[in-house]
């Protein structure tokens, strides 16, 4: 079969073929204007994901998960067939009566980027594109409300605001909806924001009284069937999963570099790493990822000092979520500027698909937090044809001696890094955790529905949000208790007919803009220097005038604090310290910790390790065997029993809660749990006893935890529902009892761990 170009007929067989050499079937099914746009864009062929996705999207019946690597043309795989369908309807004389495609995206910056790209296509095809988020002027939003049509690119929070503020308009706005597209699906799965998104999409379908096909896009889905189930709760099996692996991309150059922390006053590991990063990144544009905002500030400062001392023209700029938007956008603009050499030191702010131009190399400082994040970071480079993706991971370990506790001798940072790189190379990503009942987000959605509908009956709320909606695990009795909790806090009240309405406090909550986000944020202090806001800082301890700070890559002294208005006034200074930020980290997965143990037991040396990293690998293995980890998981250490479960943080947390509920004083120290005033052999007995008892009810176990609140509206929950929410979010009782069964099969620990000489002296 040959391909002839529409209109011209002059380019038969112009190479419009998928990479297997067969003629493109999809191209011929697109509308001629879409075909012309593809041709004018200079594409030689459709990408695999575009070829594979086209029939399903064109049919417009089934839900689809489109999974393909970064920069593989996933967005266009949805847009091209959707534009074809919508344009054919225009040709047939059908005028749209509302928005035809909603694209929900997790970031404003992604929406802005996609708006540009989609507008180029839609201008040709004759379809309008609108964007709607917090930075879009109200006048533009008013235009959409007046004449809704075409594509609407929107955040979940703005969609929430539409339901609350324009509740009566939802049916008119979306009455003609043909597709719902969800971009970067992985960023929503298993989160409060994801439950909110499921609810909002479901609520659109409820209002227009029909099902709308959903199309989800992602490059890093750890579990495709879980993604399908998330996309259409209760009917994941009917979702078509389209995965294209063949575009998985070009060369990857990867190195793990090890450092052994020197004793003071020798140069610190940070100085040595900054020297090495500086030596490798000058020239071109680079991204340096750190694991905390404080580390970003520290390294941006160290690198800028080196550039200044060397008279180097590379700019080193900090980029993280607490910096003012103007400062961040300035960094992004400089990265895009081809005349500047810019290295951004950043947190996960630059991890997702924000277009910052072509990046030459990626540095990761410290062990990666997740495989998914590492993959996204790697995907920021190598986006130009013929250029490899370059990733250098910098890992440092402390010098240890015989008084160091056993976990430090194991070189856990290095082994975690190697485990994550191996999982990355194997194409594995963290599967979503069960998130439990998501009661905090359910509270938000109950209040939102009552606002949208001007009041609603309890049975209908349960039917729409739980029985037929995304909060399926919430039964009538939990729901009834939840409504009583909300009544007690004056969030809801009931009128004489039994209709639930927002109470006084609920009314204030819903009518404040902070209501639209499902996730919790801290109360930040604004940092002001020279009359300009330079960012925000979550302050945990009182900050005194005179305190020195490094922020935005510059040094400051605190001159004054306004606690009422939560403003911190700064003046430039010659010295400073990185600020401390509050935060709750992610969870390390079971698979990572289990692979770490396999790596200790193995003798293989990955080729991507530099000499010091190899040495740390050898030391870690030596200590692993010397301490008896190959056959034991329980050890004595200075009056404490140590337990190495080699499982993820959720199981470690569950085990900690179980032991604490039996009266033991338990802590977590990286890879191990520490139990005070107990011998290892006694802990072995305790664990064996536990393994013989039936697993506890997770909710009963959760009740023993002192602080169970974590999500935004958790503090409104009564004791029962709070424990239910905690259990679903933070406990894995079955996984923990599987582990206990394994531990009970181990021989009882006999000897205290051998106390060898100091580790790592020979560097």
Binding site for DNA (CB under 7 A): 106-109, 133-135, 138, 141, 155, 157-158, 161, 165-166, 187, 191, 193, 291-294, 320-322, 347-349, 366-367, 369, 373, 513-514, 516-517, 519-521, 580-581, 583-586, 588, 649, 670
- In terms of CB distance, is 30 or 132 closer to DNA? 132
- In terms of CB distance, is 107 or 361 closer to DNA? 107
Q: Where are the alpha helices (DSSP H) in 232-292?
A: 269-281
Give me the phi and psi of 684, to 5 degrees please.
-60, -40
Quote the least distance from Cβ 588 to DNA, whole Å.
6
CA distance 618 to 759: 11
Question: CB–CB of 500/492 below 8 Å?
Answer: yes
CA distance 588 to 430: 9
Quote the least distance from Cβ 153 to DNA, whole Å.
10
| Residue 270: both structure tokens together | 């940070």
- In terms of CB distance, is 124 or 505 closer to DNA? 505
Quote the least distance from Cβ 565 to DNA, whole Å.
16
- In terms of CB distance, is 122 or 327 closer to DNA? 327
- In terms of CB distance, is 247 or 649 closer to DNA? 649
| Residue 376: both structure tokens together | 């996204």
391, β-bridge pairs = 254, 362
- In terms of CB distance, is 286 or 536 closer to DNA? 536
| Residue 432: both structure tokens together | 């979503």
Quote the least distance from Cβ 57 to DNA, whole Å.
26
| Residue 583: both structure tokens together | 């935060």
Quote the least distance from Cβ 401 to DNA, whole Å.
21
Q: Give 468's contacts (C-beta < 8 A, 6+ positions apart).
A: 202
Question: CB–CB of 77/50 below 8 Å?
Answer: yes
| Residue 66: both structure tokens together | 């489109």
Quote the least distance from Cβ 293 to DNA, whole Å.
5
- In terms of CB distance, is 85 or 189 closer to DNA? 189
- In terms of CB distance, is 599 or 699 closer to DNA? 599
CA distances from 212 to 47, 60, 561, 724 (A): 26, 9, 52, 32
Quote the least distance from Cβ 132 to DNA, whole Å.
7
- In terms of CB distance, is 203 or 320 closer to DNA? 320
Contacts of 653-659 spanning 24+ positions with Cβ under 8 A: 653/730, 653/731, 654/701, 654/730, 654/731, 654/732, 654/733, 654/735, 654/736, 655/736, 655/739, 657/701, 657/702, 657/704, 657/705, 657/731, 658/690, 658/696, 658/701, 658/736, 659/686
- In terms of CB distance, is 324 or 501 closer to DNA? 324
Quote the least distance from Cβ 694 to DNA, whole Å.
30
| Residue 646: both structure tokens together | 């080699």
| H/E stretch holding 413 | helix 412-425
CA distance 317 to 319: 7
CA distances from 56 to 19, 39, 77, 419 (A): 20, 23, 11, 37
Quote the least distance from Cβ 650 to DNA, whole Å.
11
Handedness of CA 271, 274, 279, 283 (dihedral sign): negative
- In terms of CB distance, is 367 or 731 closer to DNA? 367
Quote the least distance from Cβ 643 to DNA, whole Å.
15
CA distance 734 to 740: 10
Quote the least distance from Cβ 322 to DNA, whole Å.
6
Quote the least distance from Cβ 5 to DNA, whole Å.
40
Quote the least distance from Cβ 625 to DNA, whole Å.
23
CA distances from 295 to 90, 309, 366, 573, 578 (A): 54, 21, 10, 19, 7
Question: CB–CB of 483/463 below 8 Å?
Answer: no
Q: Give 624's contacts (C-beta < 8 A, 6+ positions apart).
A: 410, 600, 601, 630
CA distance 16 to 44: 6
Quote the least distance from Cβ 116 to DNA, whole Å.
16
- In terms of CB distance, is 81 or 406 closer to DNA? 406
Quote the least distance from Cβ 41 to DNA, whole Å.
28
Quote the least distance from Cβ 411 to DNA, whole Å.
13
Smallest CA-to-CA distance from 441 within 517, 522, 521 is with 517
Three-state DSSP state, 666: strand
- In terms of CB distance, is 187 or 341 closer to DNA? 187
Question: CB–CB of 233/205 below 8 Å?
Answer: no
Give me the phi and psi of 539, to 5 degrees please.
-100, 120
- In terms of CB distance, is 585 or 639 closer to DNA? 585
| Residue 453: both structure tokens together | 């509908």
Quote the least distance from Cβ 349 to DNA, whole Å.
4
DSSP state of 362: E
- In terms of CB distance, is 291 or 358 closer to DNA? 291
Quote the least distance from Cβ 420 to DNA, whole Å.
12
- In terms of CB distance, is 135 or 700 closer to DNA? 135
- In terms of CB distance, is 345 or 739 closer to DNA? 345
- In terms of CB distance, is 155 or 341 closer to DNA? 155
DSSP state of 695: P
Q: Give 88's contacts (C-beta < 8 A, 6+ positions apart).
A: 31
DSSP-derived pairing of the beta strands 151-154 and 492-494: unpaired
DSSP-derived pairing of the beta strands 252-260 and 492-494: unpaired
Nearest-Å Rg of the Cα atoms of the chain is: 28
């Amino acid at each position: 079969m040959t391909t002839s170009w529409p209109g011209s007929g002059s380019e038969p067989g112009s190479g419009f073929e998928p990479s297997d050499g067969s003629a493109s079937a999809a191209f011929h099914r697109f509308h001629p204007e879409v075909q012309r746009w593809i041709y004018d864009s200079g594409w030689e062929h459709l990408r695999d994901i575009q070829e594979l996705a086209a029939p399903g999207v064109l049919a417009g019946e089934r839900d689809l998960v489109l999974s393909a690597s970064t920069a593989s043309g996933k967005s266009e795989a949805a847009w091209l067939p959707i534009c074809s369908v919508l344009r054919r309807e225009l040709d047939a004389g059908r005028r749209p009566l509302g928005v035809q495609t909603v694209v929900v995206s997790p970031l404003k910056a992604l929406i802005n980027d996609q708006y540009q790209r989609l507008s180029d296509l839609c201008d040709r095809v004759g379809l309008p594109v609108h964007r709607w988020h917090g930075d879009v002027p109200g006048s533009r939003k008013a235009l959409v409300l007046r004449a809704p049509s075409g594509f609407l690119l929107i955040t979940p929070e703005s969609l929430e605001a539409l339901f609350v503020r324009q509740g009566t308009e939802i049916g008119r706005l979306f009455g003609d909806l043909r597709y719902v597209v969800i971009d970067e699906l992985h960023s929503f799965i298993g989160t409060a924001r994801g439950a909110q998104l499921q609810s909002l999409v479901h609520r659109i379908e409820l209002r227009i009284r029909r099902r709308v096909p959903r199309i989800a896009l992602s490059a890093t889905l750890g579990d495709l069937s879980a993604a399908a189930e998330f996309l259409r709760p209760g009917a994941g099996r009917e979702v078509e999963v389209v995965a294209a692996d063949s575009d998985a991309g070009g060369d990857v150059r990867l190195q793990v570099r090890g450092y052994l922390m020197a004793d003071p006053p020798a140069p610190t590991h940070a100085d040595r790493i900054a020297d090495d990063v500086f030596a490798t990144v000058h020239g071109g544009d680079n991204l340096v990822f750190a694991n905390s905002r404080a580390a970003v500030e520290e390294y941006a400062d160290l690198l800028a000092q080196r550039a200044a001392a060397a008279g180097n023209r590379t700019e080193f700029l900090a980029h993280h979520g607490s910096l003012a938007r103007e400062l961040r956008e300035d960094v992004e603009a400089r990265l895009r500027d081809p005349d500047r050499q810019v290295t951004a030191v950043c947190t996960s702010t630059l991890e997702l698909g924000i277009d910052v131009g072509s990046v030459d190399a990626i540095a990761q400082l410290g062990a990666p937090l997740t495989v998914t994040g590492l993959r996204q970071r790697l995907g920021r480079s190598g986006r130009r044809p013929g250029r490899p993706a370059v990733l250098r991971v910098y890992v440092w370990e402390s010098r240890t001696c015989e008084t160091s506790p056993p976990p430090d001798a194991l070189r856990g940072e290095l082994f975690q890094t190697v485990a994550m790189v191996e999982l990355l190379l194997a194409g594995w990503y963290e599967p979503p955790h069960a998130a439990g009942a998501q009661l905090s987000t359910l509270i938000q959605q109950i209040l939102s529905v009552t606002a949208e509908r001007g009041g609603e009956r309890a049975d209908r709320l349960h039917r729409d949000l739980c029985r037929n909606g995304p909060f399926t695990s919430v039964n009538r009795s939990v729901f009834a208790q939840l409504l009583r909790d909300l009544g007690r806090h004056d969030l809801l009240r009931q009128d004489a007919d039994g209709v639930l309405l927002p109470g006084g406090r609920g009314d204030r909550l819903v009518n404040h803009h902070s209501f639209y986000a499902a996730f919790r944020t801290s109360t930040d202090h604004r940092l002001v220097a020279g009359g300009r806001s330079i960012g925000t800082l979550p302050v945990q301890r009182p900050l005194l005038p005179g305190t020195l700070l490094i922020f935005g890559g510059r040094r400051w002294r605190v001159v004054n604090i306004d606690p009422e208005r939560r403003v911190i006034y700064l003046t430039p200074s010659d010295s400073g310290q990185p600020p401390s930020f509050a935060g709750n980290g992610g969870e390390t997965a079971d698979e990572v910790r289990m692979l770490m143990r396999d790596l200790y037991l193995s003798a293989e040396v990955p080729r991507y390790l530099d000499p010091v990293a190899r040495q740390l690998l050898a030391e870690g293995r030596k200590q692993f065997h010397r301490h008896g980890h190959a056959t034991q998981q329980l050890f004595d250490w200075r009056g404490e029993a140590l337990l190495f479960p080699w499982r993820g943080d959720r199981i470690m947390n569950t085990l900690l809660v179980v032991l604490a509920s039996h009266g033991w004083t338990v802590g977590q120290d990286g890879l191990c749990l520490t139990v005070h005033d107990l011998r290892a052999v006694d802990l072995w007995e305790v664990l064996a006893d536990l393994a013989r008892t039936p697993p506890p009810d997770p909710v009963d176990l959760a009740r023993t935890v002192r602080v169970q609140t974590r999500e935004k509206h958790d503090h409104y929950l009564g004791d029962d529902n709070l424990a239910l929410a905690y259990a679903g979010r933070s406990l894995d009782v079955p996984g923990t009892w599987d582990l206990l069964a394994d531990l009970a099969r181990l021989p009882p620990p006999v000897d205290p761990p051998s106390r060898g000489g100091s580790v790592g002296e020979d560097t």
